[in-house]
């Protein structure tokens, strides 16, 4: 596995020998996996602290659901949801906080409140002010591949060459980010499991993550509790699987294992404690004898 260092301001994260865990904190009423659980600010702050205690290296905070067929929320509402949580956690945890947004105005407020990473599922395409903001701030940026938008991405995703098309997407996105002043060493790529992909697409991406290694950027994978996992686990006893069932978490950890063994540097998950145990064993296997 290739090794990288993300270093900026007061933060430094080494990537390679130890898989890093990004804990998901949805401050929304309607996320597919935990919508409403942490919509209350006090609950969200407490959960963020718990994820750090469980082993999270990054906390990713989002105020707009990106589940399939979701609709966007206003800048005002998204800001209202996330800023108080970021302000509080920035004072209570030492790990960097990521803001999960496609809106530059929300990202700017989040950075002012203490966030230190921008996680943009549109890969800087939705808001023309996002790239200049990231360049000025000098923070890492996560660029994700998505076919379509959350409202239509799962209608009928199709590819002629899944890996080749996503590879070219990232090559272009990285070049455009650099042209707008974002340093190459500040870029992380995310193939976008479940974002405009069918089940076979997701499985192929997990199996062939190494296809993207030549892009010379760290890889983040977010497969946690996604629909393809739930659909694979369906049977007569479980015809309709709730994302919060223990069975789904077991499936998630299997997908995390595939991602780590095939090149993921960061895994984005809901259950940090379980994932910390999983990646500790996986890293020991990967590093044995090296």
Q: Clarify whether 94 is annotated catalytic.
A: no
Residues composing the chain: 290
Considering the candidates 20, 109, 197, 226, report the single residue annotated as catalytic: 226
Please list, in sequence order, all residues whose beta carbon lies within 8 angstroms of the beta carbon of residue 266, skipping any fewer than 6 positions away: 15, 19, 20, 21, 22, 57, 58, 188, 218, 219, 220, 221
Considering the candidates 20, 103, 230, 268, report the single residue annotated as catalytic: 268
**Cβ(212)–Cβ(242) below 8 Å:** no
DSSP one-letter code for 210: G
Q: Clarify whether 226 is annotated catalytic.
A: yes
Q: Which two tokens stand for residue 242?
A: 């709730």
Please list, in sequence order, all residues whose beta carbon lies within 8 angstroms of the beta carbon of residue 150, skipping any fewer than 6 positions away: 65, 66, 67, 68, 69, 70, 72, 121, 195
| Residue 17 to residue 130: CA distance in whole angstroms | 31
Active site residues: 226, 268
């Amino acid at each position: 596995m290739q090794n990288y260092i993300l270093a900026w301001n007061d933060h430094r994260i080494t990537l390679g020998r130890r898989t890093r865990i990004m804990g998901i904190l949805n401050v929304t009423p309607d996320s597919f996996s935990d919508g409403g659980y942490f919509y209350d600010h006090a609950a969200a702050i407490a959960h963020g602290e718990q994820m750090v205690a469980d082993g999270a290296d990054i906390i990713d905070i989002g105020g707009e659901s990106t589940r399939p067929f979701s609709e966007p929320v206003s800048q005002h509402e998204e800001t209202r949801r996330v800023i108080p949580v970021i302000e509080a956690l920035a004072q209570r945890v030492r790990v960097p906080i990521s803001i999960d947004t496609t809106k530059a105005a929300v990202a700017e407020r989040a950075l002012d409140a203490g966030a230190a990473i921008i996680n943009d599922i549109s890969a800087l395409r939705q808001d023309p002010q996002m790239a200049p903001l990231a360049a000025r701030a000098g923070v890492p940026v996560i660029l994700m591949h998505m076919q379509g938008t959350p409202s239509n991405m799962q209608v009928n995703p199709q590819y002629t060459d899944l890996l080749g098309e996503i590879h070219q997407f990232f090559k272009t996105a990285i070049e455009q980010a650099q042209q707008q002043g974002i340093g190459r060493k500040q870029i992380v790529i995310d193939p976008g499991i479940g974002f405009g992909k069918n089940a076979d697409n997701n499985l192929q991406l997990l199996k062939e993550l190494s296809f993207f290694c030549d892009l010379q950027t760290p890889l983040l994978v977010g497969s946690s509790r996604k629909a393809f996992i739930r659909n694979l686990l369906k049977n007569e006893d479980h015809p309709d699987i709730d994302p919060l069932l223990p069975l789904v978490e077991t499936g998630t950890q299997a997908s995390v294992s595939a991602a780590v063994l095939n090149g993921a540097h960061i895994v984005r998950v809901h259950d940090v404690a379980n994932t910390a145990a999983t990646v500790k064993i996986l890293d020991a296997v990967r590093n044995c004898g090296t």
